[in-house]
Homo-oligomer: A and B are copies of this chain.
Amino acid sequence: MTGVTTAAADPVEPEKPRRARGEQTRQLILETALRLFRERGYTETTMRAIAKEAGVAVGNAYYYFDSKEHLIQGFYDRNQAAHRVAAEQVLADEKELAPRLRGVLHAGIDVNAPYHSFAATFFKSAAEPSSPLSPFSRESSPAREAAIAIFREVVDGSTAKLDPELRKELPELLWLGWMGVILFWVYDKSPGQRRTRRLIDGAVPLIDRLVSLSRLRVLRPALRQVLALIESVRRDD
């Protein structure tokens, strides 16, 4: 955890001041862009088309968004929020770990399902490590933390008893698994992405069992080994 007191400059940009009219224009451009993305797909939607449809000059879009890819961030934020809402619904009802996890994962797929066809198109933007859209990027940090928080709630709100060390790591591990599911989903061409659903239904019981077993004394050394691996890989040197 890097403290607030570190000498390095705070990497968060100071959020340019904006007047009411500006915010309105910004919203208009974003709404128009997302609508056109949905209607025609990402690649087929040109910046000129967005500008024309929104009734502004093309340069204006670039005043509010650094690039075409940056428009996608709005999509992300929206779906993230929707996932959170859907997840809370599930978490209020279920108390055991397995159904909680299963419900949250399915909810995530539900939320994204309408966008599967063109999610793949701009998925590549997210894949580039240097892209602000990467789930590991600094810009995505708030969204990432919010997502991990959901999985923390999955764990902490459950009746499952588990090793305290593991409990600390599990939310982030589950989030990583969720990223894997998303990756699978993006590549999943089966009708309605059934294979992804099957993956979730099959993997959750396995994870649940593994987590329960983590409390067994016999498996303590193995668990330690796994946790040590995570720690050593996370170390950034």
Q: Which residues of A approach B to under 8 Å, CB–CB?
A: 120-121, 123-131, 134, 136, 186-187, 189-191, 194-195, 198-199, 202-203, 205-206, 209, 222, 225-226, 228-229, 232-233, 235-237
Contacts and interface: CB of A to CB of B under 8 A. Distances in A.
Across the A-B interface, the 8 shortest Cβ-Cβ residue pairs: A127-B127, A202-B229, A124-B128, A124-B124, A124-B127, A120-B129, A199-B233, A129-B187
Contacts of A124: 124-125, 127-128, 131
Contacts of A127: 123-124, 126-128
Contacts of A232: 198, 202
Nearest to A222: B209
12 contacts: A120-B128, A120-B129, A121-B128, A121-B130, A123-B128, A124-B125, A136-B187, A191-B237, A202-B228, A202-B233, A206-B225, A206-B226
A237 B202 contact: no
Copies of this chain present = 2
Given A205-B225, A209-B222, A225-B206, A129 B233 contact: no
A147 B128 CA distance: 23
Nearest to A128: B124
Contacts of A206: 222, 225-226, 229
A217 to B, nearest CB: 16
B129 A236 contact: no
A219 B203 CA distance: 17
Contact of A195 (B128, B205, B235): B235
Contacts of A209: 222
A186 B126 CA distance: 13
A126 B183 CA distance: 13
B187 A236 contact: no
Nearest to A213: B222
Contacts of A189: 129
A194 B237 CA distance: 7
